[in-house]
Amino acid sequence: MENWVVLALLSMFFAGLTSVLAKFGLKNVSGDIALVVRTAVVFVFVIINSFVLKQYGQMSSLTSRDALFLILSGITTSLSWLFYYRAIKIGNVSSIAAIDKGSIVVTIILSAIFLHEVLTWKVIVGASMIVGGLFVLIS
């Protein structure tokens, strides 16, 4: 199995675990406060990881264009997390997480348009199945 597949599977597992753990932590606080705590932990964890792996030196390689897109990505991540935490505070985590993963379809479309990634028949069929599943969940 290729390294990127292993990393993606680990990401999938921890993302799923994250949602369930977050729901437990939302019992007595708003989604926004829960997100403050989560984000603070993420920030500290990522900083420590950067120092442990000695990657902090790459900061000098960051161009203004790179920084702009990473900042925009940070803003969209923040908006996604804000809405996600507000949703799981009041709804079923399993349904919300599944709907949230509909972002895969958005990613596929945007990566084809802006990154010129190839849309194979497998990708189109898979994305269509995701959209179909979303309609089943929300109806």
Longest dimension (CA), the chain: 50
Q: Which of 108, 110, 81 is nearest to 97 (CA)?
A: 81
pLDDT, mean of each 10-residue run, the chain (139 residues) = 89 90 92 93 92 83 92 93 93 88 93 95 95 88
pLDDT number for residue 64: 93
pLDDT number for residue 69: 94
Q: Which of 106, 105, 95 is nearest to 138 (CA)?
A: 95
The residues, ordered by sequence, that sit 6+ positions from 117 with a Cβ below 8 Å of its Cβ are: 111
pLDDT number for residue 114: 95
pLDDT number for residue 44: 95
pLDDT number for residue 56: 77
